[in-house]
Structure 1
Amino acid sequence: MTTDFQQGREALGRRLRELRGRRTQRELAARLGWPQAKVSKLETGRQTATPEDLMAWAKSSGHPAATEELITRLQGIEDRTRSWQRQLSHGHRPVQDALTIEYERSTMVRGWQGDMVVGMLQTADYSRAVFTQFAELQQSPRDAEHIEDAVRARGRRQDLLWQPGRVFHIVMWEAALHATLAAPDVLAAQLDRLASVIGLDTVRLGIVPFGAKLRIPPANAFWLYDERLAIVEDWHAELWLDDADTIALYLRVWDTLAASAVYGTQARRLISHARARFADLA
């Protein structure tokens, strides 16, 4: 999942080596006031440079005019790999707003989620629980104001479900129905919400049953916006991928997973089974 990002870091590292020229790593490290290990890691792509690192490198290597080029290269890497730490530094709201722009630009949105209910179909209480837990994990702002801003932003995006001309084809693994990410009454209400969207002309909701024959593992969550953008979720970052070959690969992945899903009455039956479990716990 991190291949493109790592290749970008390695390419940037090669450029840094070129700029170092005939100086040894030790000599450049001394000029910079850094440990030699940092110079080595940046040149081999084992550490991500900051803009300040690149400015200092360009100046100390005798190529201050290369600063803008280096920072542009870094931005190119980060545009594809958007770390959660950076994105969530001001809470979840900015992330939600950025995603809403992509939803608004799209007429066909395909989604795969294997471990929780997708954001477009979450209730406010479920979203609140998820945002709170992820904020704690990523050590980002988790006070009530930041969390509620994110909940409201996600809720506003869900208005798109009611706009004619859009299609949201969402596939989830059955495990997502059983994940106890919130209190039982919240989970029961969430499953009621899922059942209620089956039949909307803008939503196709498929569930991959536990016993379904799978041709590939039900791995990371991802979204496809028309055929122009794939957003893939990992623990450390979101990958925003827009090259044709990668889009084609994720379309094949999505088609393969969707082929194992059930819809309509069969999907309702799986949702009802999960809901009964949480009703017993409430």
Structure 2
Amino acid sequence: MLEPDNEKRDRKDLAATLRHMRRAAGLSGERLAARAAMSQSKISRIESGRTIPSVADVERIMLALEVPADAQRDILEAARAANVDYVSARSAARLGIWRRQAEIKALCQSSRTVRHFLPIIPSGLLQTADYARSVLTPAIESDPARDVERAVSSRMDAHEVLDDETRSFHFLLSEQAVRLKQAPASVMVEQLRHMAEVSERPNVDLAILPNSASITSPPLNIFVVYDERLVTVEMFSGTVALRDYRDISHHLNIFNYFRERAASNAEAREILASVAGEFEREPE
């Protein structure tokens, strides 16, 4: 997996390679920009390493430079590597996990459509404070320490993005994600009822993949797709950000596959109510 220093080196090498290829072709930045249908300022930012070019950008530059197909392969692989970010859970905790919540809020504010695939746990945008406090509190011996209360406060602050009805939010959960007891029963009841309330918002689509659904592909990871420009994938060890349009397209296909098999609207709320009832009947 990529580490921050390697990511910076990969991006610097890609920028230098593209700059060298342009010069070898005898083209100015302005001429290349015209051929690639890009602005000269964007070409300059890419070649200086100030902007990470998308894989599509690099493909257009390769075409404009008339680079042979066999010579494109390594450069495109470098572009794909440059479009992957990895932040370990330990690094995030060291910097302050509350910062990650602020980043998520900013990503939502810069997007029109946000799709959450949630096979294990509800999104932070759906969580009550008590539920968030429970899941953010370290439970495994090797879990990094964190300022739980500040993280909870930041997560609750992010909820205001849901108030902007010009943005649409799609939450796709597995039934397991709402059944898994990640907090005391009373907190689980409150959490499930809160999710049902959020699902009534006009800009929210909340769907649940029932345990009875017939699927042939396993729901492996939590991921979020921001418009069609970025995917973040969560793992135990950290978070990966993908910007390659092929990765984004693949994750949209995954989302659509499970969404077609999920219950939504009144049916989803019935599942939430049923699971909440089961938690209510648990002995204290």
Give the TM-score normalised by structure 1.
0.70
> Quick one: structure 1 residues 238 and 134, their matched pair in 2 at CA, closer, same or farther if it must change by over 3 Å?
farther
Equivalent residue, structure 1, for 2:94 = 89
Counterpart AA for 1:265 = A
**What secondary structure, in the 3-state scheme, does the structure 2 residue paired with 1:150 have?**
helix
Aligned partners of 2:178 and 2:192 also within 8 Å: yes
- Which residue number in structure 2 is paired with residue 218 of structure 1? 219
Letter in 2 for 1:237: G
Deviation at 1:159, TM superposition (A): 0.6
**Shift, 1:139, TM fit:** 2.0
Distance 1:125 1:136 in 2: 22
Q: Quote how far apart the aligned CAs of 1:206 are.
A: 0.2
Judging changes above 3 Å, is the alpha-carbon distance between structure 1 residues 78 and 242 closer, same or farther for their aligned structure 2 residues? Answer: closer
Post-superposition offset of 1:131: 0.7
**Matched position secondary structure for 2:239:** strand
Q: What are the superposed Cα offsets for residues 191-238 of structure 1, whole Å, 9 maximum, x if unpaired?
A: 010111222111000000000111311111000000000000011110
Work out whether residues 223 and 232 of structure 2, in 8 Å CA contact, stay in contact via their aligned partners in 1.
Answer: yes
Cα distance change, pair 79–150 in 1 and its aligned pair in 2 (3 A): farther
Q: Which residue identity lines up with residue 279 of structure 1 in the other structure?
A: E
Q: Is the 8 A contact 1:90 1:140 kept in 2?
A: no
Q: How does 1:3-152 map to 2 (within 5 A)?
A: 80-133=85-138, 137-141=142-146, 146-152=147-153
User: Residue 30 of structure 1 corresponds to which residue in structure 2?
Assistant: none
Count of residues in correspondence between the two structures: 212
Q: Deviations over 1:99-137 (max 9, x none)?
A: 221111011000111111211100000001111036865
Q: Root-mean-square deviation (CA), in Å?
A: 2.4
In the superposition, relative to structure 1, how do residues 109 and 239 fare at CA in structure 2: closer, same or farther (>3 Å)? same
Q: Is the 8 A contact 1:92 1:131 kept in 2?
A: no
**Alignment of 1:258 onto 2:259:** yes
* Pair 136,164 (structure 1): closer, same or farther in 2 beyond 3 Å: farther
SS in 2 for 1:207: strand
Matching residue of 1:189: 190
CA offset digits 1:149-195 (Å, max 9, x no partner): 11111111111111120100110000011111111110000001011
What secondary structure sits across from 2:125 in the alignment?
A: helix
Q: Which residue of 2 aligns with 1:199?
A: 200
Report the CA distance between 1:243 and its aligned residue.
Answer: 1.0
Q: Distance in 2 between matches of 1:234 and 1:168?
A: 22
CA drift of 1:140 comes to: 2.1
Cα 1:134–1:168 change in 2 (3 A) is farther
| 2:213–2:261 Cα contact (<8 Å) kept | yes
CA distance in 2, matches of 1:217, 1:271: 22
- 1:264 and 1:116 map into 2 onto residues whose CA distance is 19
Distance in 2 (CA, whole Å) between partners of 1:279 and 1:148 is: 27
CA distance in 1, matches of 2:141, 2:263: 34
SS of the counterpart of 2:117? Answer: strand
| Contact 1:215–1:256 (Cα < 8 Å) also in 2 | no
One-letter code aligned to 1:239: V
In the alignment, structure 1 residue 276 sits paired with structure 2 residue 273: no
Unpaired runs of at least 5, structure 1: 16-72
Distance 1:192 1:242, change over 3 A: same
The residue number in structure 1 matching 2:33 is none
Could you say what secondary structure the match of 1:116 adopts? Answer: coil
1:25 maps to: none
Percent of paired sites with the same residue: 27
